[in-house]
Amino acid sequence: MSPGGCTCPPVGPADPKGPGPVPKAGGPAYTTTSGEPIWGPGEGPVTASVALASSGAASPEPASAPAPAGSPAASSPATPPAHAHGSTSGGMRGHRWGALRREWIKLLFQRRSYLIWGGAFVIPFLIALAFYLTRDNPESGGGGGPMFMERITSNGMFVTLASLTALIPFLLPMAAAMVAGYMIAGEAELGTLRIVLLRPTRRGAFVMAKWFMAIVYLGVGLGVMLAGGLLFGGIFFGLHPMITLSGSTVGVWHGLGLIVLSCLYALAAMSCIVSMALLFSTMTDSSLTALIGTIIIYIVITVLIQFSYFDWLRPWVFPQYLMDFTNFFRDPIYWRPVIKGLEVFALWSGVLTFAAYLVFRRKDVLS
C-alpha cells in the first residue's frame, strides 16, 4: 500500500514466481483500493488506444450497425476476391476440360505431330502415284496383296484402303507407341511432371486424359490419311461406285461409309498400343524406353502367332485381328470376326490402361 491509499502493481508483466495481477494493455498503471483508475500525466483512454496501435496490439473496433433490409449490401451475395485464380477462383470456367485442353495444346506444339500427320497425308499420294505410273504394266498388279489392291487403277476409292493396309501393320503402331510413350515419361524427362502434379489433380483422371488425347491424335492422323486418299485417288483415278470383295456394287457414299468404319476399327486396334505404351511410360522416365519396349512386345507377339505351335494364342492377342477391317467390304458384312476383334481390343486396352493407373498411382514422382 503506497501513501495516498493506492495499490501500485508493476507496470510490466508480473513476476512468474510472485503473485500480482498483470494490468491490461492500455489500462492505468495505478488503481485505488476501490478499483478506480488513476491516470498519470499525459495518460488517458485516448492515449491508451494510441499506445495500443503503436505497439501492434489489436484494438477493439466498434460493431457496425446491420445493413437495413433491401439495401445492396444486404441483398447482394458475397463475391470472390478479384485476385482469386486457379482452383480457388469461384468464376473459373472449363475446369473439367482443362486437362484435355492442356494435353491437346502440348501435342500441337510438338513438331513430331505435324511430321506424322504429314506422313499420313503423303502416303496415299505415293501409293496413287506408283499405281498411276505402272498402270500400263500388266505385271504390276496387286502383287499378292489384298484383292482391292488390284482395283486401285479403276477406282480411286481404293487408294484409302491401300494406305490403311500399308500403315496398320507397323507404321501406325509406331506412331501410337511414340505419342503414348511420350505422354508421361516425356514430361518426366523435361521435369514438368512434378510441377503438373503439384496442383490438386487426381492421378486416375490424369492418366485417362493422356490416353484419350493419344487416341484423338491418332484419329486426326487417320482422318488426314482418309482425306489424302480421297483427294489423290480422285485426281489420279476418279471416285466411282465400289465393287465389294463379294462382287456386289455399292455407291460412292456407301463405300465412303465403309471406309470410315474401317478407319474406326483401326483406331480401336491402336488403342491397345496406346495403353501398352502408356503403361511403359509410367514405369520409366525415358520416352525412348517406353517406345522401344512397346514395339518389342508388339513384334514378339506378331512373330509368335506366325508359328503353328502358338495357334492356341491367336484368339487372345490383338495383332491377329488387325486386318479384319476388310470384312466390312463383304456383302453382307461379316460381323463375327469384327466383333471378336473389338472385344479383344477392349480387353487389352482396358487391362493395360488399368495397370498403368495402378503403377502411376503408387509412383513417386521425383522429376
Secondary structure of 81-107 as H, E, C letters:
CCCCCHHHCCCCCCHHHHHHHHHHHHH
At 73, list the grid cell.
449490401
Whole-angstrom Cα distance, residue 68 to residue 347? Answer: 65
Is residue 349 exposed (0-12), middle (13-18) or buried (19+ Cβ within 10 Å)? buried
335 falls within a domain: yes
293 falls within a domain: yes
Coil, helix or strand for 6?
strand
Whole-angstrom Cα distance, residue 246 to residue 333? Answer: 10
Whether the CB-CB separation of 346 and 354 falls below 8 Å is answered with no
204 falls within a domain: yes
Q: How far is CA 322 from CA 70, 152, 172, 268, 345, in A?
A: 70, 21, 11, 10, 10
271 falls within a domain: yes
**pLDDT for the residue numbered 172:** 93
Tell me the whole-structure pTM to 2 decimals. 0.71
**pLDDT for the residue numbered 342:** 96
122 falls within a domain: yes
**pLDDT for the residue numbered 64:** 47
Whole-angstrom Cα distance, residue 128 to residue 57? Answer: 85
Helices (H), the chain: 45-55, 72-75, 98-108, 111-133, 158-167, 171-190, 193-197, 203-236, 252-283, 287-304, 335-361
- Name every residue whose Cβ is closer than 8 Å to that of residue 367 and which is 6 or more positions away in sequence: 188, 189, 191, 193, 194, 285
Whether the CB-CB separation of 23 and 2 falls below 8 Å is answered with no
Stretch (H or E) spanning 249: strand 249-250
Whole-angstrom Cα distance, residue 280 to residue 178? Answer: 11
83 falls within a domain: no
Whether the CB-CB separation of 104 and 143 falls below 8 Å is answered with no
61 falls within a domain: no
What is the extent of the structural domain holding 267?
A: 97-361
71 falls within a domain: no
**Total length of the chain:** 367
Give the residue carrying C-alpha cell 433490409. 69
- Within its chain, how far is the Cα of 72 from the centroid? 44
Report, as ranges of residue numbers, the positions in the chain whose pLDDT lies below 50.
1-4, 7, 11-12, 14-16, 18, 22, 24-25, 46-67, 70-94, 142, 144
Number of domains in the chain: 1
- Name every residue whose Cβ is closer than 8 Å to that of residue 29 and which is 6 or more positions away in sequence: 8, 9, 11, 23, 38, 40, 43
Predicted confidence (pLDDT) per residue in 218-227, tens digit: 999 999 999 9
Handedness of CA 39, 40, 41, 44 (dihedral sign): negative
**pLDDT for the residue numbered 193:** 80
